[in-house]
Structure 1
Amino acid sequence: MNVHRHLFFDLDHTLWDFERSSTETLSELFYEYEIGSLRKITFEEFLVSFKKINSELWHLYDHNQITKDYLRNKRFHLIFDHLGIDPKLVPSNMSQIYLARCPQKPYLIEHSLEVLEHLSQNYMLHIVTNGFKEVQGVKLKSANISHYFNCVITSECSGHKKPSKEIFTYALELTGAQLKEAVMIGDNLATDIKGAQAAGMDCIFFNPERIAHNEKLFKEITTLIELKNIY
């Protein structure tokens, strides 16, 4: 018998399509600022560099090695440097425009709406995210899914980041969920899954790329639609 009553979701890459949203925003900026003319680089090269640097910065941020402001303010300078472009040539408002535009993209991972509509009929749905509070709220509204969630727990409001077990303990306390009633659903094995497991929660690993691992999980899915078979 299923005892789960509270389903906690990660947002980026699990429900909200960060890759599509970010790529579209970066394409707009690349051509608006004519970045390719600075060193004869293609958009594809710019995108590859962004993904590399952004991933490295978020890893550092998740492990409390850099601040939110450093990530935001230095990201494009590091990308330009990685591409062999003088970081001083980064447009002064490029970071601000990226941060303003990207969250307004309405793109969701396939089956998100259908699954949220189904689950919301019988379960309490929540978000647990390391994303910045002001940005995550915009994403939820832009994608028209904010009404599905009872609570949105960010690392900033909890004072802890995934994979710290404290953010999950905070989420349980805030929502009034008992441990046995809770399950965490996310795409990141290191932050979403291991963090929630450390707090004693059941976990569902959303693994669309079929990443090999040895973790013992409550469930593993490769598409969100599979949640309808579980719940």
Structure 2
Amino acid sequence: MLQKLLNRLTVRHIFFDLDRTLWDFEMNSRETLEELFYELLASRTNMAAEEFIKIYHKHNERLWSEYQKGAIKKEMLRWKRFQLTFKELGIVDNALAQQFDKAYIARSPQKTNLFPGTIETLLYLSKHYRLHIITNGFLETQSLKIDNAGITPFIQHMTTSEEAGHQKPEAGAFEYSLKKTGAKVKNSIMVGDDLEIDIVGASNFGMKQVFFNPEKQKHNFHPTWEIVSLLELKHIF
């Protein structure tokens, strides 16, 4: 209780990552990809939806890595991941890849699956702290996600990498977010699921961190706090 009281006295701002921290990206993405597979692709392949999604994730993760390094633009990332997936299925159809991309971008943000305890935790924390989001995602999709999932009322500010001109774990992403919100390093906390991008990035910037690790992945880093459930934040703060 004493530590919780001290945290209350020193922390003013809590910054969250969005995808895979509050918004259940994997579940929402899977639902969308399955729907689009059966609507647009199933008649053209004998492959099961599960295998299609597995191949898509392989290409998506590689292209996201290139995007984060500045090697490709977001427009290329978006349709190229589907083009490469279809090619592996034996389908060469750029028009279909672009149709898939547009449908995925339009439909995925409409999904509303959040991690267990998200609303309860945000409701509790919002009574004591100013809550914000720092995301490497795209503004047009991330805004829709928080609106449709019903968490916009809890969020004071959201900063995207496009807006900041920097991506986490770059210091510029955190610096821009703090300046935008009026927060200071000493009274801010970063909560995220990605050890390198969210946690190590925030640590290098000088911010305290909460590593959200629901899969209990093993690592050698020592974050300020580590949790497996968002509800644990109620006991820390």
> Comparing 73-82 with 1-10, which one deviates more in the overlay?
73-82
Instruction: State the distance in 1 between where 2:89 and 2:187 align.
Output: 48
- Contact 1:78–1:87 (Cα < 8 Å) also in 2: no
Which residue number in structure 2 is paired with residue 46 of structure 1? 52
Which residue number in structure 1 is paired with residue 125 of structure 2? 119
- Contact 2:80–2:97 (Cα < 8 Å) also in 1: no
Which residue number in structure 1 is paired with residue 3 of structure 2? none
1:104-158, CA deviations, whole angstroms, 9 ceiling, x for partnerless residues? 1111111100000000000000000000001100001000101111110000111
Q: CA RMSD in A?
A: 1.3
Instruction: State the distance in 2 between where 1:88 and 1:181 align.
Output: 49
Residue 139 of structure 2 is aligned to residue 133 of structure 1:
yes
Which of 187, 190, 193 lines up with 1:184 in the alignment? 190
Instruction: State the distance in 1 between where 2:95 and 2:161 align.
Output: 32
Instruction: State the distance in 2 between where 1:109 and 1:84 align.
Output: 36
Tell me the percent identity: 46
Which of 81, 93, 97 lines up with 1:75 in the alignment? 81
Unaligned runs of 5+ in 1: none
Instruction: State the distance in 2 between where 1:65 and 1:89 align.
Output: 23
More helix by share: 2
Residue 11 of structure 2 is aligned to residue 4 of structure 1:
yes
Residue 36 of structure 1: CA displacement?
3.0
- Contact 2:22–2:114 (Cα < 8 Å) also in 1: yes
Question: Cα distance 1:69–1:92, how it changes in 2: closer, same or farther (>3 A)?
Answer: closer
- Contact 2:161–2:168 (Cα < 8 Å) also in 1: yes
AA matched with 1:176: G
Which of 159, 162, 165 lines up with 2:165 in the alignment? 159
Which residue number in structure 2 is paired with residue 95 of structure 1? 101
AA matched with 1:215: F
Instruction: State the distance in 2 between where 1:127 and 1:82 align.
Output: 36
Runs ≥4 in structure 1, deviation > 6 angstroms? none
Instruction: State the distance in 1 between where 2:115 and 2:13 align.
Output: 21
AA matched with 1:10: D
Instruction: State the distance in 1 between where 2:107 and 2:90 align.
Output: 26
Residue 34 of structure 2 is aligned to residue 27 of structure 1:
yes
Instruction: State the distance in 1 between where 2:130 and 2:86 align.
Output: 43
Secondary structure class of the residue paired with 2:137: coil
1:169-193, CA deviations, whole angstroms, 9 ceiling, x for partnerless residues? 1111111111110110000011111
Residue 215 of structure 2 is aligned to residue 203 of structure 1:
no
Which residue number in structure 1 is paired with residue 25 of structure 2? 18
Residue 44 of structure 1: CA displacement?
0.6
- Contact 1:166–1:199 (Cα < 8 Å) also in 2: no
Question: How many pairs were matched up?
Answer: 230
1:60-100, CA deviations, whole angstroms, 9 ceiling, x for partnerless residues? 21222221111112110011123333244735421101100
Question: Cα distance 1:43–1:177, how it changes in 2: closer, same or farther (>3 A)?
Answer: same
AA matched with 2:185: L
Instruction: State the distance in 2 between where 1:92 and 1:12 align.
Output: 23
Secondary structure class of the residue paired with 2:209: strand
Which of 85, 110, 125 lines up with 2:91 in the alignment? 85
